[in-house]
Structure 1
């Protein structure tokens, strides 16, 4: 179920420098550095997916406060 998520914004990955430096652009044009968790840094499938997302120029949901990608994509659990 989709709901209003004011703490979430859309970003598009624009470059991946290494496992610590991933940059994205918000819908308003601001460039931000994403926070990559320790678990994500070690996850080969995460990086393969992120590279495919970069190539496809897809938009992803980002937690504004922490600059972390949402694990559940655009879906959230009420509560």
Structure 2
């Protein structure tokens, strides 16, 4: 199931300046700084993936309030009945 949530927005990575400064562009053209968690800062695979996403110019889902990338990408957790 794809996410359809007003608290999520699409961003494209603009630059990776350091582990503490990753800039992204929203669909409306706003430049924002992503919040990178301590766990992500230590994760070599996360950084390799982020560089690949930057090169490929892919859009990623981002929590609007916290500016954190979603761990499950565009897929929502299945609803439990």
Give unmatched runs, 5+ long, in structure 1: none
2:3·2:74 contact (CA, 8 Å) conserved in 1? no
Alignment partner of 1:55 is 2:52:
no
The residue that corresponds to 1:29 in the other structure is 29
Give unmatched runs, 5+ long, in structure 2: none
Instruction: Tell me the CA shift for residue 27 of structure 1.
Output: 0.1
**1:1-79 to 2 correspondence within 5 Å?**
1-77=1-77, 78=79
TM-score in terms of structure 2 length: 0.93
Instruction: Tell me the CA shift for residue 3 of structure 1.
Output: 4.0
TM-score in terms of structure 1 length: 0.95
Return the alpha-carbon distance in structure 2 between the equivalents of residues 10 and 21 of structure 1. 18
Instruction: Tell me the CA shift for residue 64 of structure 1.
Output: 0.3
Q: CA RMSD in A?
A: 1.1
